[in-house]
């Protein structure tokens, strides 16, 4: 079997844009007609530039290759241009291509990917969601703890046993910063009110985005400890594992991170430095499914857990489900609410979500199929990137 063709899709994500402004999907086709889908996460260039990058990598290094030889292909693409380092651009493109190869392999063998990576361990996967705004909100759910409590109670009634929030936004190009007393008070009030309203029904996931200096993160953590959050996410920017480790040593709250990291090499540093005990790799950026499995194995040896990140499209979401189903040290899976809305519409058959849990599909490959007609009806015509940081200091 050989890979003979590649097609890309840049899909505009309609309002409210949960998961980003757009999704970049890749489809690989073999000489015997098997098609596999992958997704590229948040390469920092306009998505139509990214499609040219995908096509370039495909023409030079993927076309004509055997989709079963994933390790070989991974090393060749990773080493492209004498880089051989965790560059998120090439890793994002490699992730989408690698994911599509696994989809092809699973379909060729008639098995879900999780059965090819050690076999199913978890029959259902606990999930969480961010506390999201709704169209009729009178205030901002990201800064109004009363509204956040109402929304969290709604999610708990749906079956969620964990909710995530970031009351120290915005994140800016000039972070990390020292949080003001006002910001610290607001963050503490958020957690206190949510804990009092939810009690033991839900874990609280404090999802910051690297806004804080080390000292500020430690100050915040001391305020949050009495309310026992499950994690403090990316308390400092991801570029400095040593400083994140300083935060981890000063708090009883588990540190989670990983959405902006790429490859086993960056995650190995987190574990070596004891900077985090919950790893949040995004399979559309980290290097794909097999790379995530390797990271999960390293984490298992350190008694760390994985909680795959999802702020993108449902193909990455489906890959997250595959890796989580076969990983003993899986903790929890990020959902965008209940996997409905456009994330369901763009798939021929949506992911199965039941009362807070995702049920891994038994279909071969990654378990979902992109609805290409829906994708074609939603081209992305904007200029904004998937996510942008504020360009002024706070």
Q: Is 309 a catalytic residue?
A: yes
Q: Which residue out of 17, 48, 302, 309 is catalytically annotated?
A: 309
Residue 301: count of CB within 10 angstroms of its CB: 9
Q: How far is CA 66 from the centre of its chain?
A: 28
In the numeric block, which tokens belong to residue 97? 């291509």
Catalytic residue among 209, 343, 378, 386: 209
Determine contact, residues 133/169, Cβ cutoff 8 Å. Answer: no
d(CA 336, CA 101): 25
3-state secondary structure 182-249: HHHHHHHHHHHHHHHHHHHHCEEEECCCCCECHHHHHHHHHHHHHHCCCEEECCCCCCCHHHHHHHHH
Cα–Cα–Cα angle for 175, 138, 235, nearest 5°? Answer: 20
What order of strands is seen across the sheet that includes strand 35-40? 3-12, 22-30, 35-40
Distance in angstroms (rounded) separating the CA atoms of residues 389 and 394: 12
CB 61 within 8 A of CB 105: no
Distances (CA, A) of 235 to 6, 120, 267, 275, 365: 39, 33, 16, 11, 36
Task: Report the distance separating Cα 197 and Cα 143, nearest Å.
Answer: 17
> Would you give the DSSP letter of residue 356?
T
Decide if 48 contacts 24 (C-beta within 8 A).
Answer: no
Q: State whether residue 257 is helix, strand or coil.
A: strand
CB 251 within 8 Å of CB 280 = no
Q: Which residues are designated catalytic?
A: 209, 309
């Amino acid at each position: 079997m050989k890979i003979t063709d590649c097609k890309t899709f840049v899909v505009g994500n309609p309002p409210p844009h949960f998961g980003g402004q757009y999704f970049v999907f890749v489809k690989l086709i073999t000489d015997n007609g098997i098609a596999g889908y992958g997704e590229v996460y948040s390469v920092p260039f306009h998505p139509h530039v990214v499609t040219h990058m995908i096509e370039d990598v495909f023409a030079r290094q993927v076309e004509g290759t055997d989709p079963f030889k994933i390790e070989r292909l991974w090393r060749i693409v990773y080493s492209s241009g004498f880089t051989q380092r965790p560059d998120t651009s090439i890793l994002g493109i490699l992730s989408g291509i690698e994911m599509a190869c696994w989809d092809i392999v699973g379909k060729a063998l008639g098995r879900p990917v999780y059965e090819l990576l050690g076999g199913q361990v978890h029959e259902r996967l606990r999930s969480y969601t961010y506390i999201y705004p709704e169209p009729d909100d009178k205030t901002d759910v990201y800064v109004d703890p009363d509204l956040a409590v109402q929304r969290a109670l709604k999610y708990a009634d749906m079956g969620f046993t964990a909710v995530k929030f970031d009351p120290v936004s915005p994140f800016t190009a000039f972070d990390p910063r020292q949080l003001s007393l006002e910001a610290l008070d607001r963050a503490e009030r958020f957690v206190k009110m949510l804990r009092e309203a939810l009690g033991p029904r839900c874990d609280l996931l404090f999802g910051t985005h690297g806004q804080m200096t080390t000292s500020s993160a430690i100050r915040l953590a001391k305020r949050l400890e009495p309310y026992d959050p499950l994690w403090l996410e990316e308390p400092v920017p991801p570029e400095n594992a040593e400083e994140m480790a300083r935060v981890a040593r000063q708090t009883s709250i588990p540190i989670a991170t990983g959405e902006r990291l790429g490859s086993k090499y960056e995650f190995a540093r987190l574990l070596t430095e004891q900077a985090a005990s919950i790893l949040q790799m995004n399979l559309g950026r980290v290097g794909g499914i097999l790379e995530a499995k390797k990271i999960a194995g390293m984490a298992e040896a350190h008694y760390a857990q994985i909680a795959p990140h999802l702020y993108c499209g449902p193909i990455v979401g489906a890959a997250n489900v595959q890796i989580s189903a076969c990983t003993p040290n899986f903790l929890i899976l990020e959902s965008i609410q209940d996997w409905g809305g456009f994330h369901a519409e763009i798939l021929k058959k949506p992911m199965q979500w039941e009362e807070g849990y995702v049920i891994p599909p038994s279909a071969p490959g990654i378990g979902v199929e992109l609805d290409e007609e829906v994708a074609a009806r939603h081209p992305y015509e904007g200029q904004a990137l998937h996510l942008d940081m504020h360009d002024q200091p706070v």
